[in-house]
């Protein structure tokens, strides 16, 4: 069962292949430590080509040196022929073995390169800023790892060796021909020129239509995908006729392009094959005529050999034209892959790191189980250590997702260690945006954010994020066991710590009731679990990480009040003793906060405790009493 030919992704169809991509791809092939093995492959390929050329040349030897003299001999002695056959057999065997070896080596080499490319791609993708993930579709990014890399497989394991082999065969066959008979070689050259001309013409034309076909196929498939996804809407709006009409149009375009592309592609083979046949016949006729006249020292054996050689020169020409479309496709895929690799990683100029240790009498010793400290190297070479406390302050922060549009204006806020800060405001007021700035998913335009007195730009991003826990409204879990998912918060957490975190998050109850308890395997989207249960796992995941600062995005309420109250209690447990930023939807959460920030259009318009704000009788008061709506 051969692997499916990779379908080129729709996005790759828009790429134009260029030499830079070729160079870079080749660099991947040769720089991956495959150099010596590739050298060996080259030797093996030469051996297989030699064997195939020898097999054609052998016919001449067989006829001229053995059969013809033997038929004339009164007492034919076949021992010479046996020896010759043994020698040729050995060459054949060498060719077969070389073929076996290089084919198998190319498999490991090409798959190795593919794995390398995939791994590099993924590792690089992990370093990209959140902004990149916001602005690129997931489907598109997934095809980097499947379709785009797969087009490369064909290129590396087939096209490259085939191309080399074909060129080599053409050269060697040509040399053999000239050696045997320059006259007959002239006939071959003329025919070969004709063949190349036709191949270039028809092949080029077919290539162009092949691309058009792929493009209209991608277009049609895109349309099908969109329409079938929206099929229920199509039904509800009785939009079937319109949807069918547009489909028919695209389907017809594809039909036309596919027909033209395939007619050209289909007739290329018979053309090459039969020009080969013509050459075969011409060689016999011309060779025959020449042999009769005794010109050029032509023997029957040479003619027979030539006939066979002419066959082995037609095949490589066909091969080259056959591989051309794969090469173009592979380059398009490679270009996309390299573009992703060229995307700029998240910038991190931080140098303040998070360490564990103990401070005694002004000297600091790093210890595995000690408390967390910020390790702050200074310009003069000295080191200072400051305990991780969870004090977060923002000063006059401005921010916009795009330079043209500022969405946060002059945000200033303080959160002392252990304080709860609640953000309240309408959708789009900027609540989530503020929290995204604290962990540096996005970088601020103007102003300052300080964490325990340190400018967060100076803190290494991984360390900054390790000190911040986060529970998002949309719960994302990973395929694996429940325990694995909780342990995601701290990879070296023991089983006891996992259970303890689950208990804290109020999740232990339902987990123990699962068929396999903590070892129950869940899929990434957690279909087996209810929304509430997934939230509980996410809370446990944050709890096991045990960070001093938490960012919580409360889920909007649902009718299922029972689970909701369980989740709520889990959240409350998690908040205890930490600095917390909460995007609040519940009055109870808001009322229990130390500070409430009321946001409107990216500005903090009111701040203070619940009692303060009630007394102030402004926006918050109106919201609380229901006299006003958030807008």
Which positions from 604 to 623 touch other proteins by CB under 8 A, shown as an x/- string?
-------------------x
- Tell me: does residue 629 bind other proteins (CB under 8 A): yes
Among 50, 114, 163, 196, contact with other proteins (rule: CB under 8 A): 114
Residues 117-156 that bind other proteins (CB under 8 A): 118-119, 122-123, 125-127, 130, 133, 137-138, 141-142, 145-146
- Of 359 and 484, nearer to other proteins (C-beta) is 484
- CA-based radius of gyration for the chain: 37
Pairing of strands 383-387, 549-553: unpaired
Which contiguous run of DSSP H or E holds residue 449? strand 446-451
Residue (17 or 273) nearer to other proteins, CB = 273
* Residue 442 lies near other proteins (rule: CB under 8 A): no
Exposure on the CB side of residue 210, measured as CA atoms within 13 A: 19
Strand-pairing partners, residue 357, are 366, 371
The tokens of 63 are what? 């006829």
155, 210, 280, 399: which one binds other proteins (CB under 8 A): 280
The smaller minimum CB distance to other proteins, of residues 153 and 335, is found at 153
> Is 295 a binder of other proteins (CB under 8 A)?
no
Place of tokens 């030797």: 43
Cα–Cα distance measured from residue 300 to residue 306, given in angstroms and rounded to the nearest whole number:
10
100 lies in the binding site for other proteins (CB under 8 A): yes
Stretch that binds other proteins, among 327-335, 362-370, 421-429, 492-500 (CB under 8 A): 421-429
Min dist CB 247 to other proteins, Å, is 5
Q: Which of 42, 46, 50, 81 binds other proteins (CB under 8 A)?
A: 81
Neighbours of 560 (CB within 10 A): 13
Distances (CA, A) of 601 to 400, 408, 411: 12, 8, 11
- State which of positions 378-417 bind other proteins (CB under 8 A): none
Residue 198 to residues 102, 267, 324: CA-CA distances in angstroms? 32, 11, 15
Q: Which of residues 203-242 bind other proteins (CB under 8 A)?
A: 220-222, 224-240, 242
Query: Which is nearer to other proteins, 23 or 256 (by Cβ)?
Result: 256
Lay out the sheet containing 579-583: strands in order across: 468-471, 549-553, 579-583, 420-424, 595-600, 603-608
Q: Does 184 help bind other proteins (rule: CB under 8 A)? A: no
For other proteins, the closer of residues 167 and 286 by Cβ is 286
Using CB under 8 A, which of 278, 371, 521, 616 touches other proteins? 278
- Whichever of 23 and 312 has its CB closer to other proteins, that residue is 312
Residue 76 Cβ vs other proteins, minimum distance, rounded to whole Å? 5
From candidates 472, 500, 605, 614, binder to other proteins by CB under 8 A: 472
The residue whose two tokens read 């096209």 is 159
520: left (phi over 0), alpha (psi -120 to 50) or beta: beta
Nearer to other proteins, 311 or 448 (CB): 311
- Closer to other proteins by CB, 21 or 56: give it: 56
Task: Give one word for 217, left, alpha or beta, with left for phi > 0 and alpha for psi -120 to 50.
Answer: alpha
In the bound state with other proteins, the residue whose beta carbon lies nearer, of 52 and 185, is 52
In the set 424, 444, 537, 571, which binds other proteins (CB under 8 A)? Answer: 424
Residues whose CB is less than 8 angstroms from the CB of residue 351 and which lie 6 or more positions away in sequence, other chains included: 377, 458, 460
* Contact flags string 535-564 toward other proteins, x per CB under 8 A: ------x---x----------xxxxxx--x
| Minimum CB distance to other proteins smaller for 23 or for 166 | 166
Contacts of 620 (CB under 8 A, 6+ apart): 424, 596, 598, 606, 613, 614
Q: What are the start-end ranges of the H helices in 32-64?
A: 35-60
For residue 376, list its beta bridge partners: 384
Q: Which of 297, 462, 509, 577 binds other proteins (CB under 8 A)?
A: 462
Residue 269 Cβ vs other proteins, minimum distance, rounded to whole Å: 7
Tell which positions 491-510 bind other proteins, by CB under 8 A: 491
261, 348, 419, 610 from 615: Cα distances, Å: 77, 44, 21, 9
């Amino acid at each position: 069962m051969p692997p499916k030919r990779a379908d080129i992704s729709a996005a790759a169809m828009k790429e134009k292949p260029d030499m830079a991509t070729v160079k870079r791809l080749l660099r991947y092939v040769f720089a991956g430590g495959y150099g010596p093995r590739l050298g060996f492959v080259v030797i093996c390929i030469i051996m297989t080509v030699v064997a195939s050329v020898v097999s054609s040349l052998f016919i001449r030897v067989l006829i001229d040196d053995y059969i013809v003299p033997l038929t004339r001999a009164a007492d034919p002695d076949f021992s010479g022929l046996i020896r010759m056959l043994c020698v040729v057999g050995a060459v054949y065997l060498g060719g077969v073995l070389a073929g076996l070896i290089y084919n198998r080596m190319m498999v490991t080499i090409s798959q190795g390169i593919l794995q390398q490319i995939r791994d590099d791609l993924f590792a690089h993708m992990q370093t990209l800023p959140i902004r990149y993930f916001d602005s690129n579709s997931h489907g598109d990014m997934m095809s980097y790892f499947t379709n785009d890399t797969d087009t490369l497989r064909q290129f590396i394991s087939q096209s490259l060796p085939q191309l080399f082999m074909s060129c080599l065969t053409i050269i060697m066959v040509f040399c053999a021909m000239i050696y045997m008979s320059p006259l007959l070689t002239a006939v071959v050259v003329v025919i070969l020129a004709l063949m190349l001309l036709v191949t270039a013409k028809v092949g080029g034309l077919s290539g162009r239509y092949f691309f058009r076909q792929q493009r209209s196929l991608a277009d049609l498939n895109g349309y099908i995908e969109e329409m079938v996804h929206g099929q229920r809407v199509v039904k509800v709006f009785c939009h079937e006729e319109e949807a069918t009409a547009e489909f028919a149009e695209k389907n017809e375009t594809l039909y036309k392009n596919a027909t033209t592309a395939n007619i050209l592609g289909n007739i290329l083979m018979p053309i090459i094959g039969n020009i080969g046949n013509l050459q075969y016949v011409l060689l016999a006729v011309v060779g025959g005529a020449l042999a009769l006249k005794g010109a050029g020292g032509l023997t029957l054996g040479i003619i027979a050999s030539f006939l066979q050689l002419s066959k082995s020169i037609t095949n490589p020409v066909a091969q080259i034209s056959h591989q051309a479309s794969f090469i173009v496709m592979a380059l398009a895929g490679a270009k996309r892959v390299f573009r992703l690799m060229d995307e700029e990683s998240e910038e991190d100029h931080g140098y303040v790191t998070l360490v564990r240790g103990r401070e005694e009498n002004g000297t600091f010793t790093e210890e595995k189980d000690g408390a967390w400290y910020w390790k702050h190297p200074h310009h003069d070479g000295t080191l200072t250590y400051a305990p991780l406390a969870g004090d977060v302050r923002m000063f006059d922060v401005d921010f916009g997702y795009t330079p043209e549009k500022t969405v946060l204006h002059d945000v200033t806020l303080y959160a002392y260690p252990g304080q709860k800060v609640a953000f309240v405001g309408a959708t789009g007021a900027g609540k989530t945006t503020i929290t995204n700035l604290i962990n540096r998913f996005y970088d601020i335009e103007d102003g300052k954010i300080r964490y325990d007195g340190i400018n967060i730009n100076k803190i290494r991003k991984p360390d900054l994020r390790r000190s911040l826990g986060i529970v998002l409204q949309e719960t994302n879990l990973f395929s694996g066991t429940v325990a694995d998912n909780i342990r995601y918060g701290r990879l070296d957490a023991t089983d006891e710590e996992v259970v303890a975190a689950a208990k804290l998050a109020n999740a232990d109850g339902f987990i123990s009731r699962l068929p396999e308890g903590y070892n129950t395997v869940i899929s990434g989207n957690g279909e087996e679990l209810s929304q509430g249960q997934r939230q509980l796992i996410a809370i446990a995941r944050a709890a096991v990480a045990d960070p001093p600062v938490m960012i919580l995005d409360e889920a909007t309420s649902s009718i299922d009040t029972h689970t909701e109250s369980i989740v709520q209690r889990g959240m409350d447990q998690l908040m205890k003793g930490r600095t917390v930023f909460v995007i609040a939807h519940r009055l109870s959460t808001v009322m229990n906060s130390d500070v409430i920030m009321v946001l409107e259009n990216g500005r903090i318009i009111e701040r203070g405790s619940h009692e303060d704000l009630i007394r102030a009788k402004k926006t918050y008061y109106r919201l609380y009493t229901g006299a006003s709506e958030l807008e």
